[in-house]
């Protein structure tokens, strides 16, 4: 019988594929030969070479991305390992892993790790869109967090005894009272519970339980030390998970929280981006009255603005004084800080009264408060030396005068690199002192806030060319006298227009009557 060539090819391919395939038993044997992923204190030691395998072999994987030298990472290690130990027998399908991203740049980039430590939760082997586990610090909270992600996020309460047991079990408890357990409000409530592992969550549709606490159904009640401290009416579509999370997490802090080393972490863990700070000495004669007013105003803005107290007599708070540039003569002082934009606002009124505080907070929330831009006073001899001294109050008028190219060094006095470069900058100033169209200047960014320039490091150098049509140029070259000079000469050629006189010979057009690019802000 004659065999068709196509049949021969088919037989060949079938044999080849059969030879290359692996039976289930062979696959198990091959997998068994792979060395186990190493563990340290019940936590998987992960890296690029074994990360994909860990995902495929684990249904739920909570991963800590860290760097060895980070103190915050070190502080979290024990709590993270303790949570892994406790869940080892209780929930073996949940694994904990850690990745030191110091030498794992690809993983750091893939998951956009910006802060240390960062904790992410991977489900069903997928590396797409892992869930961020934010603000969790304690072993008990890690355990609650992963349990609520892998099972029910709230306890169903059917009796008053059940409710009482939950309320009295710890300092804080949250109970949702609903008409029925299938609506949008219930869904938002359950989603919120997943993100607040620091306290127990329960929900009920029992008429008896609602009547016992005198609560109208479709309400959220926060209990603190066994007593109701907040009642939030829940309307379908009226609340968001983020809004409820912000509100509830504020109860992990006091109404007014004193800032110190111990509380600073807790303050920034609460997802409220607006902070108001009262700077005052706690041993002053007027403290009790001021504090009472501050606390009274705080209740109205819970969940919207976090109220923080800073004792100006505490030496360890020096860095926060410097950040807000608070002086002894300024206290008592009140400032609002937006954590996202880092914009700061100063309370216009001098007296810390309930009325002034409420008006300031409401004005800020309505977007009507003016941003506070502190500035040093203009030195009398600011323009007498080869390098001119700029401050917040003269910055805009100098660099946007349109008649002169200004090359500015933004520096911080405490920076060792800045201190080393200042003598070089002085020499650059001497080199261009005779050029009437070029100014070499410097500004202390720790004492003057400038809106016009975004600073990402110190020192930072920017050239502001003359003329209304030229944009500022960030300097990215070497920090040497020669490199600075070459940059300046190149920019002079670039900005010179055909038909204009040589820049060193003077400026033809007077721009002094035109508007500046940036309007001066009130200080």
Do 413 and 470 sit in the same domain of this protein?
A: yes
Average pLDDT over residues 430-438: 94
CA angle 199, 130, 27 (to 5 degrees): 120
Do 62 and 121 sit in the same domain of this protein?
A: yes
Answer yes or no: are the C-beta atoms of 99 and 65 closer than 8 Å: yes
Tell me the residue range of the domain where 434 lies: 388-493
**What span, in angstroms and rounded, lies between the C-alpha atoms of 295 and 279?**
14
E strands, 306-383, in order? 306-311, 333-338, 344-346
Q: What is the pLDDT of residue 495?
A: 66
**What span, in angstroms and rounded, lies between the C-alpha atoms of 473 and 346?**
32
Average pLDDT, the chain: 86
Is the pLDDT at 429 greater than 50? The verdict is yes
Is the pLDDT at 10 greater than 80? The verdict is no
Give the pLDDT confidence of 229-285 residue by residue, as tens digits: 999 999 877 789 999 999 999 999 999 999 998 898 889 889 999 999 999 999 999
Do 121 and 190 sit in the same domain of this protein?
A: no
Is the pLDDT at 514 greater than 60? The verdict is no
* Strand-pair partners of 260: none
**What span, in angstroms and rounded, lies between the C-alpha atoms of 242 and 197?**
14
Average pLDDT over residues 132-155: 94
Where would I find the H helices in 432-509? 481-495
Answer yes or no: are the C-beta atoms of 204 and 163 closer than 8 Å: yes
Do 202 and 301 sit in the same domain of this protein?
A: no
In eight-state DSSP terms, residue 88 is H
| Residue 31 resides in a domain | no
29-38, 147-156, 274-283, 395-404: the lowest-pLDDT one: 29-38
> What predicted TM-score, i.e. pTM, was given to this entire model?
0.67
Percentages (nearest 5) of helix, strand, coil residues in the chain = 40, 20, 40
CA angle 41, 43, 44 (to 5 degrees): 130
Closest among 181, 315, 202 to 261, alpha carbons compared: 315
Helix (H) or strand (E) holding 148: helix 139-150
| Residue 463 resides in a domain | yes
- For a pLDDT cut of 70, what percent of the chain falls above it? 86
Per-residue pLDDT band for 412 (boundaries 50, 70, 90) equals confident
Q: Give the chain's domain count.
A: 4
Do 258 and 245 sit in the same domain of this protein?
A: no
Q: What is the pLDDT of residue 448?
A: 82
Q: What is the pLDDT of residue 125?
A: 94
161-175, 233-247, 451-465: the lowest-pLDDT one: 451-465
Do 343 and 262 sit in the same domain of this protein?
A: yes
**What span, in angstroms and rounded, lies between the C-alpha atoms of 374 and 446?**
10
Per-residue pLDDT band for 522 (boundaries 50, 70, 90) equals very low
Q: Which of 250, 283, 304 is the last residue of a domain?
A: 250
**What span, in angstroms and rounded, lies between the C-alpha atoms of 352 and 354?**
7
To 10 degrees, the CA torsion angle through 250, 233, 356, 307? 0
Provide the phi-psi class of 467: left if phi over 0, else alpha when psi is between -120 and 50, else beta: left
| Residue 10 resides in a domain | no
Answer yes or no: are the C-beta atoms of 481 and 425 closer than 8 Å: no
Residue that wins the pLDDT comparison between 409 and 517: 409
Q: Which of 231, 250, 269 is the last residue of a domain?
A: 250
**What span, in angstroms and rounded, lies between the C-alpha atoms of 368 and 299?**
21
- Backbone φ and ψ for 150, nearest 5 degrees, come out as -110, 0
CATH of the domain at 442: 3.40.30.10
The greatest distance separating any two alpha carbons of the chain, rounded to the nearest whole angstrom, comes to 114
Average pLDDT over residues 126-145: 94
**What span, in angstroms and rounded, lies between the C-alpha atoms of 83 and 146?**
10
Q: Which of 107, 135, 150 is the last residue of a domain?
A: 150
What does the DSSP assignment read for 212-255?
Answer: HTT--SSEEEEEETTEEEEEEE--TTT--HHHHHHHHHGGGS-S
Do 94 and 182 sit in the same domain of this protein?
A: no
Do 398 and 475 sit in the same domain of this protein?
A: yes
Do 428 and 489 sit in the same domain of this protein?
A: yes
| Residue 381 resides in a domain | no
To 10 degrees, the CA torsion angle through 80, 83, 85, 91? -130
Closest among 74, 124, 115, 118 to 95, alpha carbons compared: 124
| Residue 394 resides in a domain | yes
The C-alpha R_g of the chain, in whole angstroms, comes to 31
Judge if the upstream peptide bond of residue 24 is cis by omega within 30 degrees of 0.
no
Helices then strands, counting H and E runs in the chain, come out as 17, 21
51-60, 68-77, 172-181, 386-395: the lowest-pLDDT one: 68-77
| Residue 130 resides in a domain | yes
Closest among 298, 283, 284, 378 to 334, alpha carbons compared: 298
Do 222 and 266 sit in the same domain of this protein?
A: no
Average pLDDT over residues 51-78: 92
E strands, 81-154, in order? 94-100, 118-123, 131-132
Do 263 and 347 sit in the same domain of this protein?
A: yes
Q: What is the pLDDT of residue 496?
A: 60
**What span, in angstroms and rounded, lies between the C-alpha atoms of 463 and 486?**
13
- Helix/strand/coil for 155: strand
- For a pLDDT cut of 90, what percent of the chain falls above it? 66
**What span, in angstroms and rounded, lies between the C-alpha atoms of 82 and 219?**
36
| Residue 278 resides in a domain | yes
**What span, in angstroms and rounded, lies between the C-alpha atoms of 409 and 365?**
35
| Residue 8 resides in a domain | no
Do 262 and 280 sit in the same domain of this protein?
A: yes
Give the pLDDT confidence of 103-124 residue by residue, as tens digits: 899 999 999 999 899 999 999 9
Counting every residue, how long is the chain?
523
Q: What is the pLDDT of residue 512?
A: 32
Q: What is the pLDDT of residue 285?
A: 94
Answer yes or no: are the C-beta atoms of 132 and 119 closer than 8 Å: yes
Per-residue pLDDT band for 508 (boundaries 50, 70, 90) equals very low
Average pLDDT over residues 394-413: 89
- Backbone φ and ψ for 405, nearest 5 degrees, come out as -85, 130
Give the pLDDT confidence of 84-95 residue by residue, as tens digits: 999 998 999 999
Closest among 397, 401, 398, 399 to 509, alpha carbons compared: 401
Closest among 325, 293, 285 to 309, alpha carbons compared: 293
Residues 6+ apart with CB under 8 A from 54: 37, 44, 46, 61, 95, 97
Average pLDDT over residues 396-406: 88
Answer yes or no: are the C-beta atoms of 373 and 392 closer than 8 Å: yes
């Amino acid at each position: 019988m004659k065999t068709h060539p196509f049949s021969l090819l088919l037989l060949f391919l079938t044999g080849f594929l059969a030879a290359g395939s692996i039976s289930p038993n062979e696959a198990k044997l091959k997998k068994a030969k792979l060395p186990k992923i190493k563990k340290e204190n019940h936590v998987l030691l992960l890296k690029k070479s074994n990360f994909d395998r860990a995902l495929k072999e684990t249904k739920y994987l909570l991963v800590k991305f860290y760097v060895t030298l980070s103190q915050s990472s070190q502080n979290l290690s024990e709590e993270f390992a303790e949570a892994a130990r406790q869940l080892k027998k209780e929930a073996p399908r949940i694994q904990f892993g850690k990745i030191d991203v110091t030498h794992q740049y690809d993983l750091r980039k893939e998951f956009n790790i910006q802060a240390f430590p960062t904790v992410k939760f991977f489900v069903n082997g997928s590396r797409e869109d892992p869930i961020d586990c934010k603000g969790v610090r304690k072993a008990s909270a890690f355990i609650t967090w992963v349990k609520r992600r892998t099972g029910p996020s709230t306890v169903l309460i059917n009796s008053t005894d059940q409710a009482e047991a939950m309320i009295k079990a710890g300092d804080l408890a949250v109970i949702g009272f609903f008409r029925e357990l299938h609506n949008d409000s219930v869904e938002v409530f359950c989603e919120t519970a997943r993100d607040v592992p620091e306290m127990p969550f329960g929900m009920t549709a029992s008429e008896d339980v609602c009547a016992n606490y005198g609560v109208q159904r479709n309400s959220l009640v926060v209990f603190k030390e066994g007593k109701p401290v907040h009642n939030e009416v829940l309307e379908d579509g009226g609340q968001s998970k983020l809004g409820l999370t912000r509100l509830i997490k504020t109860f992990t802090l006091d109404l007014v929280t004193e800032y110190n080393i111990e509380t600073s972490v807790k303050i920034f863990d609460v997802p409220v981006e607006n902070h108001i700070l009262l700077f005052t000495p706690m041993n002053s004669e007027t403290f009790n009255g001021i504090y009472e007013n501050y606390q009274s105003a705080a209740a109205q803005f819970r969940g919207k603005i976090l109220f923080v107290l800073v004792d100006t007599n505490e030496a360890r708070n020096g860095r926060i004084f410097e950040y807000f540039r608070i002086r002894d003569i300024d206290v008592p002082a009140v400032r609002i800080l937006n954590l996202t934009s880092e914009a700061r606002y100063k309370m216009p009124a001098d007296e810390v009264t309930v009325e002034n505080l409420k008006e300031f907070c409401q004005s800020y929330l309505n977007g009507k408060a003016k941003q506070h831009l502190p500035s040093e006073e203009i030195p009398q001899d600011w323009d007498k030396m080869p390098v001119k001294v700029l401050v917040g109050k003269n910055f805009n008028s100098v660099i946007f005068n349109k008649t002169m190219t200004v090359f500015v060094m933004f520096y911080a006095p405490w920076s060792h690199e800045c201190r080393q470069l200042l003598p070089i900058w002085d020499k650059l100033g001497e080199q261009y002192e005779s050029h009437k169209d070029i100014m070499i200047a410097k500004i202390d960014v720790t004492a003057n806030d400038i809106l016009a320039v975004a600073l990402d490091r110190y020192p930072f150098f920017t050239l502001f060319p003359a003329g209304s049509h030229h944009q500022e140029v960030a300097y990215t070259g070497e920090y040497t006298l020669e490199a600075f000079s070459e940059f300046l000469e190149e920019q002079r050629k670039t900005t010179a227009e055909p038909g204009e006189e040589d820049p060193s010979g003077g400026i033809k057009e007077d721009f002094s009557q035109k508007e500046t690019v940036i309007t001066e802000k009130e200080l």
